[in-house]
C-alpha cells in the first residue's frame, strides 16, 4: 500500500444533503482526497465506503453509514489521446470532473462528445455509472462513450478496465458497486454545431400517428407534456443536417420567443433557442452551466420502455393524467439508442425514456410511483438507477438478463463488500 501522507481532508458531515434536499446522507466521515494514493488509503482502511459526485441522485445510491469520498480535489486536467486524423480519440478526466468543466476544453481542441445530459452540472462518473441517457436520439446513453475506467478496488489497489476486457460492458454502468472510479476515458469526435427550435401545438393524435418519425426527425427531440396535453417540443438539429429550422413540425408551429418547459420560470437559465446555431456543448443541454438547472426544488423519476411499446406506455400514463398532474412540474419524452452495457436501461434495444420532474413532496410522489410502475409493467419499464422508484430486486432481475453476471462481477471485484450499501442490497442483492 502507498505510504500515508495524511494530506486528505476529513470532516464530520453536518446535515449533508443531496441536490434535491430529499435525502440526508448518514456518513460518519467525509473525505476529500487530493491524490489517487489518498483514495487508496481511505478505501483500504474503511469497512464501508461510497463516493459522492454532484449529489444529483434522488435516492440513496451513494449513501453509507461509514465513509463518503468526494473526488473534486483530484487533478482536474483533461488528457486527450488522439487516434490519428479525423479528430477521434479519448479524453481522460479525473473522477470528480463535471461535464461543465470538460466540454469547454474539448471544444477548444475542436472535439466533441456525441451526447450531453440536459444539465451539464453533473459529474461524468456519476452520470455514466447510472446509465444517464443524454439528449441525442441517434446516440446511446452517456455511458456508451466510456472507453476506459481506472478505479480503486476494495483492497485499495488500482484496477484498469478497458473494452478489451470481457467484463467491461458490466463495469461501465456499475452503480458504485465495483470500486471508486478515479479516472475515466470518453471517446471523442470532431466538433459540430447545433440549432435548437421549440415548437408549440403538437397534438397527441399527431404524435401517436407519427411517433417514430417525430423521434427521428432531428439529432435530439424532446417532447414535454403534463399528460393532459403536449406542451412543447424541443428539436435540436446538427447544422450540417439542417441549415435552417422549418416553421412547422408535424403540425406544431415554431415559437417566436424563448420558451421555458416549466411554467413561470425565467428563460435566462436555458440554452439558446430560436434556431440560432451554436457549438454542440452550448445547445445539447437544456440548461446553461452557470445557472440553476430546471426549477431547483424538485424530485425526479424516469422509466425506459422498449421503443416498440412507446405508444402503449404513453397511453397508459395519459389515463393517469388526473393522478399525475397535481404532483408534476413537467414530463419529458425522448428516445435512446440500444447498447450492450449490462445494467444500462437501453440494454438490448432502443428505448423510449419517460421522465418526470415532480414537485418536492416525497411522501405523495413515492406513494404514486407504484401506480405508475403498475401501469408501465406490461411494457417492461426499467427505472433510472439514480432517481426515485419502488421496483424491487426480483422485478429488476427479470428486466436485466445480465443481472446474475453483474452480481458475480461485484463479488469478484469487491469480495469484502466495501462498497455495499442499503441501496445495492435492495436492488442488486449481490451478497444475498
pLDDT at position 284, please?
A: 85
> What's the burial of 51, exposed, middle or buried (CB within 10 Å: 0-12/13-18/19+)?
buried
Q: Within a 13 Å sphere around the CA of 38, how many CA atoms are in the beta-carbon half?
A: 17
pLDDT at position 336, please?
A: 95
Overall residue count recorded for the chain in this entry = 432
For residue 31, what are the β-bridge partners? 10, 69
* Sequential pLDDT tens for the chain (432 residues): 333 444 577 776 677 999 889 999 999 999 999 999 999 999 999 999 999 989 989 999 999 999 999 999 999 899 998 876 666 899 999 999 999 999 999 999 999 999 988 777 899 999 999 999 877 677 899 999 999 999 999 999 999 999 999 999 999 999 999 999 999 999 999 999 999 999 999 999 999 999 999 999 999 999 999 999 999 999 999 998 887 888 999 999 999 998 887 777 777 778 888 888 899 888 888 877 655 555 568 999 999 999 999 999 999 999 999 999 999 999 999 999 999 999 999 999 999 999 999 999 999 999 999 999 999 999 999 999 999 999 999 999 999 999 999 999 999 999 999 999 999 999 999 887
pLDDT at position 289, please?
A: 67
Instruction: Strands of 191-274 (E only): list them.
Output: 193-200, 220-225, 230-238, 248-249, 252-254
Contact 177, 428 (CB under 8 A): yes
Contact 271, 288 (CB under 8 A): yes
pLDDT at position 378, please?
A: 98
Q: Which domains does the chain have, with CATH numbers?
A: 9-70 (3.30.43.10), 79-191 (3.30.465.10), 194-386 (3.30.70.2520)
pLDDT at position 292, please?
A: 56
Cα separation, 352 vs 276, in Å, equals 28
pLDDT at position 262, please?
A: 79
For residue 49, what are the β-bridge partners? 67
Cα of 279 vs its chain's centroid, Å: 21
Cα separation, 20 vs 124, in Å, equals 19
Cα torsion angle, 109, 115, 119, 123, sign: negative
Cα separation, 255 vs 199, in Å, equals 5
Q: Within a 13 Å sphere around the CA of 127, how many CA atoms are in the beta-carbon half?
A: 27
Contact 190, 87 (CB under 8 A): yes
pLDDT at position 36, please?
A: 97
pLDDT at position 6, please?
A: 46
Q: Nearest 5 degrees, angle CA 93-CA 99-CA 105?
A: 65
Contact 325, 372 (CB under 8 A): no
Q: Which residues contact 243 (CB under 8 A, 6 or more apart)?
A: none
Cα of 92 vs its chain's centroid, Å: 19
Cell numbers that stand for 40 in this block: 487508496
> What's the burial of 170, exposed, middle or buried (CB within 10 Å: 0-12/13-18/19+)?
buried
pLDDT at position 96, please?
A: 95
Cα separation, 184 vs 33, in Å, equals 17
Cell numbers that stand for 269 in this block: 437559465
φ/ψ (deg, to 5) at 392: -90, 175
Instruction: Strands of 207-327 (E only): list them.
Output: 220-225, 230-238, 248-249, 252-254, 278-279, 299-306
Amino acid at each position: 500500500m502507498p505510504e500515508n501522507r495524511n494530506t486528505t481532508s476529513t470532516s464530520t458531515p453536518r446535515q449533508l444533503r443531496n441536490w434535491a434536499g430529499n435525502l440526508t446522507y448518514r456518513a460518519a466521515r467525509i473525505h476529500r482526497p487530493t491524490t489517487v494514493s489518498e483514495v487508496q488509503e481511505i478505501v483500504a482502511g474503511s469497512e464501508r465506503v461510497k463516493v459522492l459526485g454532484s449529489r444529483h441522485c434522488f435516492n440513496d445510491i451513494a449513501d453509507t453509514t461509514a465513509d463518503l469520498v468526494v473526488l473534486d480535489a483530484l487533478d482536474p486536467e483533461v488528457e486527450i489521446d488522439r487516434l490519428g486524423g479525423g479528430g477521434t480519440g479519448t479524453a481522460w478526466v479525473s473522477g470528480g470532473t463535471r461535464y461543465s468543466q470538460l466540454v469547454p476544453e474539448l471544444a477548444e481542441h475542436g472535439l466533441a462528445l456525441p451526447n450531453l445530459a440536459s444539465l451539464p452540472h453533473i459529474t461524468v462518473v456519476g452520470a455514466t455509472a447510472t446509465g444517464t441517457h443524454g439528449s441525442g436520439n441517434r446516440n446511446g446513453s452517456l455511458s456508451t462513450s466510456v472507453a476506459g475506467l481506472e478505479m480503486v478496488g476494495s483492497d485499495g489497489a488500482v484496477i484498469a478496465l478497458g473494452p478489451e476486457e470481457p467484463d467491461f460492458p458490466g463495469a461501465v454502468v456499475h452503480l458504485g458497486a465495483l470500486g471508486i472510479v478515479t479516472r475515466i476515458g470518453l471517446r471523442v469526435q470532431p466538433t459540430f454545431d447545433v440549432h435548437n427550435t421549440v415548437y408549440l401545438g403538437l397534438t397527441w393524435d399527431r404524435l401517436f400517428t407519427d411517433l417514430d418519425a417525430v423521434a427521428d426527425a432531428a439529432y435530439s427531440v424532446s417532447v414535454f407534456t403534463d399528460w393532459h396535453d403536449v406542451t412543447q417540443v424541443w428539436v435540436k438539429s446538427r447544422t450540417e443536417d439542417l441549415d435552417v429550422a422549418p416553421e412547422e413540425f408535424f403540425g406544431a408551429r415554431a415559437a417566436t420567443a424563448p420558451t421555458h418547459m416549466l411554467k413561470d420560470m425565467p428563460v435566462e437559465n436555458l440554452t439558446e433557442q430560436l434556431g440560432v446555431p451554436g457549438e454542440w456543448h452550448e445547445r445539447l443541454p437544456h440548461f446553461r452551466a452557470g445557472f440553476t438547472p430546471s426549477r431547483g426544488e424538485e424530485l425526479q423519476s424516469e422509466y425506459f420502455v422498449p421503443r416498440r411499446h412507446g405508444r402503449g406506455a404513453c397511453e397508459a400514463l395519459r389515463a393517469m393524467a388526473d393522478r399525475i398532474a397535481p404532483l408534476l412540474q413537467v414530463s419529458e419524452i425522448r428516445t435512446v439508442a440500444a447498447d450492450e452495457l449490462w445494467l444500462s436501461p437501453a440494454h438490448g434495444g432502443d428505448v423510449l425514456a419517460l421522465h418526470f420532474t415532480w414537485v418536492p413532496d416525497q411522501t405523495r410522489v413515492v406513494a404514486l410511483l407504484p401506480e405508475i410502475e403498475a401501469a408501465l409493467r406490461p411494457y417492461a419499464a426499467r427505472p433510472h438507477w439514480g432517481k426515485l422508484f419502488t421496483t424491487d430486486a426480483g422485478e429488476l432481475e427479470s428486466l436485466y438478463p445480465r443481472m446474475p453476471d453483474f452480481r458475480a462481477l461485484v463479488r469478484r471485484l469487491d469480495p469484502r463488500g466495501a462498497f455495499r450499501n442499503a441501496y445495492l442490497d435492495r436492488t442488486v442483492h449481490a451478497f444475498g
